């Protein structure tokens, strides 16, 4: 019997790659995204099912989980991958943008976990896999709000893992570093829409971010998809999954170096030449 895995945010990037890798690993994947048409091409009978899900919508969360359980009678893993970020200085982050980031990156995953955990407890097995970020360990200028959501998700997941592990369940953290996705481009678009002053006091940071994103750096999303597969299906999953190597290096640096040195490096790096 194939393990059933529910994945959010599968229209592009890490989520779409995770669907392909989970399918290849033998899972029956329930792929979700806010717009059903954006993932229609992923559907494959007996291997990938597609449902519309806005993780910030309580009614949709409940309906999707109920449908999965009605169809399959169980759920072996939940992958909370959907995320939202806006590249904004803290001073220029509107309250509605802050709330949207928390609704998508923290409250949505929390509520989905609450919906699936009772079934997993009855099964005696199950995984909640939360896609956080190295930004949940090291806070970056212009991403203060986004980083704060990833710090929160990391804390929530670690507590959850300690709570559910004695029950035969696990909660895991996927913590990507720089991955080649549309996140940076979308974040800059959101910044402009939110009224960021690109010529104001934080202008050098915005321009530097724009330059770096245009370079198109970062590892392929498959690097993270492989870690998601391990967290969902391995007999002994880990709590932390970092990728690529620079994400692990950043975490080690955070533990070994004083905050003052890391903060200086951040300012110097973003100011550029």
pLDDT in tens, 210-245: 776 544 568 999 999 999 999 999 999 999 999 999
| Mean pLDDT of the 89-107 span | 96
Average pLDDT, the chain: 92
Nearest to 150, CA basis, from 85, 230, 100: 85
Tell me how far apart the alpha carbons of residues 130 and 110 are, in angstroms, rounded to a whole number: 10
Residue with tokens 């993780």: 55
* Helix (H), strand (E), coil (C) string for 214-249: HCCCCECCHHHHHHHHHHHHCCCCCCEEEECHHHHH
| Mean pLDDT of the 158-175 span | 98
Tell me how far apart the alpha carbons of residues 190 and 188 are, in angstroms, rounded to a whole number: 5
pLDDT at 238: 97
Q: Which of 84, 102, 146, 241 is catalytic?
A: 146
| Cβ-contact 68, 4 below 8 angstroms | yes
Which H or E run contains 211?
helix 203-214
The predicted model scores a pTM of 0.93
> How many CA atoms does the CB half-sphere of 238 hold within 13 Å?
10
Dihedral sign of CA atoms 36, 37, 39, 45 in order: positive
The CA distances from residue 247 to 131, 165, 259, in Å, are 13, 26, 17
| Mean pLDDT of the 103-126 span | 98
Catalytic-residue membership of 146: yes
Instruction: Read off the pLDDT band of 187 (50, 70, 90).
Output: low
* pLDDT higher than threshold 90 for residue 80: yes
Annotation: CATH topology of 4-271: Rossmann fold (3.40.50)
Q: What is the pLDDT of residues 118-154, one digit of tens each?
A: 999 999 999 999 999 999 999 988 999 999 999 999 9
Instruction: Read off the pLDDT band of 183 (50, 70, 90).
Output: low
């Amino acid at each position: 019997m194939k393990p059933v895995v529910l994945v959010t945010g599968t229209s592009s990037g890490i989520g779409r790659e995770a669907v392909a890798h989970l399918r290849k690993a033998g899972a029956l994947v329930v792929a979700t995204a806010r717009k059903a048409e954006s993932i229609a091409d992923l559907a494959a009978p007996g291997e990938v099912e597609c449902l519309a899900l806005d993780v910030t919508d309580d009614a949709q969360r409940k309906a999707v989980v109920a449908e999965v359980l009605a169809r399959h009678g169980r759920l072996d893993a939940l992958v909370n991958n959907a995320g939202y970020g806006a590249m904004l200085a803290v001073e220029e982050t509107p309250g509605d943008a802050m709330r949207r980031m928390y609704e998508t990156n923290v409250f949505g995953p929390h509520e989905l976990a609450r919906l699936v955990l009772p079934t997993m407890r009855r099964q005696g097995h199950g995984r909640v896999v939360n896609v956080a970020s190295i930004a949940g360990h090291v806070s970056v200028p212009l991403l203060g709000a986004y980083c704060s959501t990833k710090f929160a998700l990391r804390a929530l997941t670690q507590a959850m893992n300690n709570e559910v592990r004695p029950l035969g369940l696990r909660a895991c953290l996927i913590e990507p570093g720089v991955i080649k996705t549309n996140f940076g481009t979308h974040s800059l678009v959101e910044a402009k829409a939110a009224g960021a002053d690109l010529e104001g006091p934080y202008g050098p940071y915005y321009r530097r971010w724009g330059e770096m994103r245009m370079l198109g750096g970062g590892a392929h999303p498959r690097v993270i998809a492989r870690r998601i597969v391990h967290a969902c299906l391995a007999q002994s999953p880990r709590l932390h999954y970092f990728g690529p190597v620079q994400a692990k290096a950043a975490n080690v640096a955070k533990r070994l170096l004083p905050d003052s040195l890391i903060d200086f490096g951040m300012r110097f790096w973003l100011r550029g030449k």
